[in-house]
Amino acid sequence: MRVRFNFTPRRWLRSFFWLTGALCLLSVGLTLPLAVLNPPTTAYILQDSGDRSPWLTRWTPLEDISPHLPLAVVASEDQRFPDHFGIDVAAIRKALNEDRDRLRGGSTISQQLAKNLYLWTGRSLVRKGIEAWLTLWMELFWSKGRLLEIYLNVVEFGPGVYGVTDASEHFFNKTPAQLTPYEASLLAAVLPNPKRLNVGQPSAYVSQRSRTIRTAMSYLGGHSYLEGVIR
Q: Is the pLDDT of residue 97 over 70?
A: no
Whether 6 maps to a domain, the answer reads no
Segment 38-45 shows an average pLDDT of 96
Whether 201 maps to a domain, the answer reads yes
The CATH number of the domain holding residue 79 is 1.10.3810.10
Whether 102 maps to a domain, the answer reads yes
As a 3-state breakdown, the chain gives helix, strand, coil percent values, each rounded to 5, of 60, 0, 40
CA distance 201 to 222: 26
CA distance 92 to 221: 25
Among 148, 156, 150, CA closest to 199: 156
- In the chain, the number of structural domains is 1
Segment 135-141 shows an average pLDDT of 97
Q: Is the pLDDT of residue 26 over 50?
A: yes
Q: Is the pLDDT of residue 104 over 70?
A: no
pLDDT digits (tens, 9 = 90+) for 64-84: 999 999 999 999 999 999 999
Q: Which residues form the domain of 205?
A: 19-230
Mean pLDDT of the chain: 89
Number of C-beta neighbours around residue 151 at 10 A: 23
| pLDDT band per the 50, 70, 90 thresholds, residue 122 | confident
The larger pLDDT score, comparing residue 172 to residue 19, is at 172
Distances (CA, A) of 27 to 2, 49, 85: 39, 25, 17
Whether 13 maps to a domain, the answer reads no
Distances (CA, A) of 174 to 124, 126, 164, 188, 197: 39, 41, 11, 17, 21
CA distance 110 to 21: 23
Give pLDDT, residue 102. Answer: 40
CA distance 171 to 35: 29
